[in-house]
């Protein structure tokens, strides 16, 4: 069910933006569609997801129509502030979007298309569990306008999957990739490293398996122990070991070495692609601070510097929309200092880097020592950009602290 929502100001029932929020028609607009349903909850997961026993009357078969109501509301809100922008990216995340019938996902995408239009060449991604991505699902979604699948592989090693409470059959990873390819779609594979009991050789096996499937994009995330998860409780009780920071660093370096050797270039700390065109444009929109509307329970949005978030539970979400009200629970507008910190925090993670001028005065004085410590690329810094080295990617938080001192 995820972590608690942030604190913020109350959001109005009609969802209207404050009058002084400026919506820039030149800023890219993206759409996030949250599908909060899962068959089982993985022990490490802190996302806003619900199994069948936790829905409290909310219905999966009614969910697509509920999202369409929020899409209609968002169109009214944004149309009141100027010309509507076509969606340049659409991302179905979860949860497990492919637990819904593909026709429901297609219907939600049609709702976005009808409300805003899709920009030419729009990227449309669907996250998928390997067990649920079949030839029929892939073809139906390709016909609806989906361009890309992000497949939750996590690992190819059975005991590592078991430690993560992942229930999919490892053999279905190749089947899912083949289904996506057969429908003419791009493929990304998601991996997690540092699970309890996972060795460096286990991780090498997963990387080599992923590379052999020749996806267009690979994400590799270090396992993070989130408060309130099953994994956190297991570690607290001494049932499983906590992730080892040194081992995770070795795993990251191995990933970067093997992926680079296979022709994948890093473009964000945890993401690699075969070409710049295969980078996740939707995720880049987050790191670059562009605008997006997030639909669904617990989804977050950002337009013109204003952030807001929806009520968490699917039943509360459905109730608000049935009453003709916005599902937004709260909102905030970060001040200039908070925005500068966020720019450095997010843009320093990507290969384009962040401008040296974005750092504080003290932070700019720290750049020389960051170069000397091997954390920042010296040639890029001379050209006015902070770009992380591999060592810098491992110590990205330390770089951000130095730049914002």
Whether residue 153 has pLDDT greater than 70? yes
If phi > 0 it is left, if psi is from -120 to 50 it is alpha, else beta; for residue 37 that is: beta
- Torsion angle (degrees, nearest 10) of CA 80, 86, 92, 94: -30
What does the pLDDT read at residue 2? 61
Whether residue 1 has pLDDT greater than 70? no
Residues near 88 by beta carbon (within 8 Å), at least 6 away in sequence? 28, 29, 30, 119, 122, 123, 281, 285
Which tokens sit at 367? 């750049």
301-329 pLDDT per residue, tens = 999 999 999 999 999 999 999 999 999 99
Percent of the chain with pLDDT over 70: 99
Whether residue 356 has pLDDT greater than 90? yes
Give the residue-averaged pLDDT of 42-63: 90
Could you list the beta-strand ranges (E) of 269-357.
271-273, 291-295, 300-303, 306-310, 328-332, 354-355
What does the pLDDT read at residue 15? 97
What does the pLDDT read at residue 322? 97
Domain boundaries, the chain: 29-287, 334-405
Nearest to 17 by CA among 81, 83, 75, 67: 81
DSSP assignments along 140-182, one per residue: HHHHHT--EEEEEEE-S-HHHHHHTT--S-THHHHHHHHHHHH
Q: Measured between alpha carbons, how far is 325 from 161 in angstroms, rounded to an integer?
A: 41
- SS3 breakdown of the chain: % helix, strand, coil, rounded to 5? 40, 20, 35
Q: Measured between alpha carbons, how far is 155 from 196 in angstroms, rounded to an integer?
A: 13
235-287 pLDDT per residue, tens = 999 999 999 999 999 999 999 999 999 999 999 999 999 999 999 999 999 99
What does the pLDDT read at residue 129? 94
Residue 27's φ and ψ, nearest 5 degrees, are -85, 135
Nearest to 141 by CA among 214, 202, 92, 94: 92
What does the pLDDT read at residue 5? 72
Whether residue 136 has pLDDT greater than 80? yes
CA–chain centroid gap for 200, Å, is: 26
Task: Reply yes or no: is the peptide bond before residue 95 cis, omega within 30 of 0.
Answer: yes
What does the pLDDT read at residue 43? 86
What does the pLDDT read at residue 352? 97
Whether residue 167 has pLDDT greater than 90? no
Terminal CA-to-CA distance of the chain, rounded, Å?
Answer: 35
Whether residue 228 has pLDDT greater than 70? yes
Residues near 325 by beta carbon (within 8 Å), at least 6 away in sequence? 13, 14
Whether residue 376 has pLDDT greater than 70? yes
- pLDDT tier for residue 375 given thresholds of 50, 70 and 90: very high
* pTM strictly above 0.85: yes
Secondary structure element (H or E) that encloses residue 379, with its range? helix 378-382
Whether residue 164 has pLDDT greater than 70? yes
Q: Contact 157/150 with Cβ under 8 angstroms? A: no
DSSP assignments along 180-197, one per residue: HHHTT-EEEEEEEE--TT
82-100 pLDDT per residue, tens = 999 999 999 999 999 999 9
Please tell me whether residue 322 adopts helix, strand or coil conformation.
helix
Whether residue 298 has pLDDT greater than 80? yes
Average model confidence (pLDDT) across the chain: 96
Q: Contact 180/217 with Cβ under 8 angstroms? A: no
The domain 29-287 is placed in CATH, from the list 1.10.10.10, 3.20.20.70, 3.40.50.12370, 1.10.8.10, at 3.20.20.70
CA 341-95-61 angle, 5° bins: 135
Give the residue-averaged pLDDT of 179-204: 98
């Amino acid at each position: 069910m995820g972590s608690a929502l942030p604190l913020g100001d109350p959001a109005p029932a009609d969802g209207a933006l404050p009058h002084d929020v400026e919506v820039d028609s030149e800023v890219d607009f993206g759409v996030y569609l949250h599908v909060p349903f899962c068959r089982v909850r993985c022990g490490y997961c802190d996302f806003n997801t619900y199994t069948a026993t936790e829905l409290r009357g909310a219905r999966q078969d009614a969910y697509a129509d509920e999202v369409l109501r929020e899409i209609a509301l968002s169109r009214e809100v944004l149309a009141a502030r100027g010309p509507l922008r076509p969606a340049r990216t659409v991302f179905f995340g979860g949860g497990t979007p492919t637990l819904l019938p593909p026709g429901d996902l297609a219907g939600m995408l049609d709702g976005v298309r009808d409300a805003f239009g899709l920009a030419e060449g729009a990227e449309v991604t669907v996250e998928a569990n390997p067990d649920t991505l079949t030839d029929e699902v892939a073809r139906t979604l390709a016909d609806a306008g989906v361009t890309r699948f992000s497949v939750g592989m996590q690992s190819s090693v059975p005991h590592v999957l078991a430690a993560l409470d992942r229930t999919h059959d490892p053999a279905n990873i190749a089947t899912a990739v083949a289904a996506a390819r057969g429908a003419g779609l791009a493929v990304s594979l998601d991996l997690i490293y540092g699970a309890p009991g996972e060795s460096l050789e286990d991780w090498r096996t997963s990387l080599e398996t992923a590379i052999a499937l020749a996806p267009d994009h690979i994400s590799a995330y270090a396992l993070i122990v989130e408060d309130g998860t099953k994994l956190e409780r297991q570690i607290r009780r001494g049932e499983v070991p906590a992730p080892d920071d040194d081992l995770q660093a070795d795993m990251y370096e191995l990933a970067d070495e093997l992926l680079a050797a296979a022709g994948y270039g890093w473009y964000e700390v945890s993401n690699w692609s075969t070409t710049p065109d295969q980078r996740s444009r939707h995720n880049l929109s987050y790191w670059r601070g562009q605008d997006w509307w997030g639909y669904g329970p617990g989804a977050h949005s950002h337009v013109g510097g204003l952030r807001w978030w929806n009520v968490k539970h699917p039943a509360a979400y459905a109730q608000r929309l049935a009453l003709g009200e916005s599902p937004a629970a709260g909102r905030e507008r970060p001040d200039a200092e908070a925005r500068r910190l966020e720019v450095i925090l997010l843009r320093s993670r990507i290969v384009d880097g962040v401008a040296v001028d974005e750092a504080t005065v003290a932070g700019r004085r720290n750049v020389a020592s960051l170069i000397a410590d091997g954390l920042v690329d010296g040639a890029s810094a001379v050209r006015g950009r902070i770009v992380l080295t591999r060592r810098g990617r491992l110590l990205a938080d330390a770089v951000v602290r130095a730049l914002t001192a």
